Structure 1
Amino acid sequence: MKRVVSISLGSSKRDSTSEVELLGERFEVSRIGTDGDMEKFAQLMREFDGKVDAIGLGGMDRYL
């Protein structure tokens, strides 16, 4: 199963994990909010780098 993590500067109250199947492939998709904490955001990026198949970034300014 492939793993996808979305790390957001938004609220952790909306954190969730779901399993989905797309085109016959199983995925575990997780959303992790950091409540605006940039240090936690950076720490989570380091933690998941190389350990998941894809990382999404949310709730941030694209020019950051």
Structure 2
Amino acid sequence: MQILVDRGKCQSYGNCVVAEPRVFDLDEDGIVKVLVEAPSEELREQVKFAVLDCPARALQLEG
């Protein structure tokens, strides 16, 4: 599983960080950054939730 980020769409809501802070964070400009680009299977469900919970649709999963 690979996380794809469209930084231009990110609106700094932070839902992804709340859903899975081990994988997502916000940078100094408030834009999402991925801490773990290929999360383990153990984190899969929370990462999927974080992607679906993004109101700006700035996140996607591949693989």
Shorter-normalised TM range:
0.3 to 0.5
Structure 1 length normalisation: TM-score? 0.36
Higher helix share: 2
TM-score normalised according to structure 2 size: 0.36
User: Which of the two has greater strand per residue?
Assistant: 1
Larger radius of gyration between Structure 1 and Structure 2: 1
